[in-house]
Chain A
Amino acid sequence: MTDHNLDLPSDTDARLDRLLEEWVEQRGLTKARTEQLRQAVLAMHELDAATPALAAASLDQGAEWWSSLFTPLLTALSQAATTGYLSVGTGMEAEPDPSVGYRAYMRLA
């Protein structure tokens, strides 16, 4: 060890060195902890990198999902307009004309 003071007697100096060595061994980063820390950082970064990608992916899926939800409804509404729904308003409380199947109504319910 270098750069420390000249005031301590050599035996005190040596005892302090031994104590510090033991303390550093226990309180410092072991090899195992060093690797755990490295892996933790890399894993956290993987998580950071994955999050925006997942968000983007879910948006893409969301558009498809909304499309799959509304396309049949719009088709049904279009059919209703041409074939005789009495009313298709908020809450879908209107009864369908008997001549129109229950398909769109059931999907919403």
Chain B
Amino acid sequence: MVDRTPDGATSGLVRCFNRIYDANHRALHAYFLGRTSDPEAALDLSQEAFLRVWRNVSKLQELTPQRQRYWLYTVAKNLVADLYRGSASQRAARQSVVARLRSGGNHEEGPQAALESRERLEAVDRAMNELPEDLRTALLLQVMGRLSSSQIGEALEVPAGTVRYRIAMARKRLAELLRLDEHLGTKGRT
């Protein structure tokens, strides 16, 4: 628990939390989305992971950003492992927060454009779900998390070369599934 006195100490911890949050929230969400392929679970797990950051922020502030990221992804891996062991009541208790967060979507385009956009997005959703988890996670950490191959490698504990290979494979597979290039000679499943 954060020591709430004096006020200066608490605000220092909040600043530290915000630094860790700002540096990692996008990539961590991408990681959870890649691992679970479930947007609600990804939000839920992101919240849980950062709650643990907040609870441990006084210790984390002594670590380098790299070590903080390592700590965070260790927590993240454990949370994914725990996800399917969680009770229904625990999941239900978090539903309201997740629902509130998801309601923040913003679609201001016209109905036709919105429909087309939705169809495209759903096709990508399906294609993403078809990808093997390791390929999807590496790809999402890159395109959504904006991490470099070496940063992804640190998070996933694999060499950067393996990350590059996974991303390349993921893109090729997505292009096939979305029929982006008939020359790829695939059946397409969208």
Contacts and interface: CB of A to CB of B under 8 A. Distances in A.
A24 B143 contact: yes
Interface residues of B, number: 52
Interface string B145-176: 00011000000000000011001110110110
B7 to A, nearest CB: 14
B87 interface: no
A27 B36 CA distance: 14
Nearest to A38: B21
A60 B37 CA distance: 48
B144 interface: yes
A36 B104 contact: yes
B27 to A, nearest CB: 10
Majority-rule SS of B interface residues: helix
A33 interface: yes
B104 A3 contact: no
A27 B121 contact: yes
Contacts of A66: none
Interface in B101-154: 101, 104-106, 117, 120-121, 124-125, 128, 142-144, 148-149
A38 B100 contact: no
Given A3-B149, A41-B47, A23 B55 contact: no
A29 B33 CA distance: 11
Contact of B104 (A9, A27, A33, A42): A33
Interface of A: 1, 3-9, 11-13, 15-16, 19-24, 26-30, 32-34, 36-38, 40-42, 44-45, 48-49, 52
Given A3-B148, A26-B117, A36-B100, 17 more contacts: A1-B143, A3-B163, A5-B171, A9-B183, A11-B181, A12-B181, A13-B171, A16-B174, A16-B178, A22-B121, A27-B125, A30-B104, A30-B106, A32-B104, A32-B106, A38-B21, A49-B1
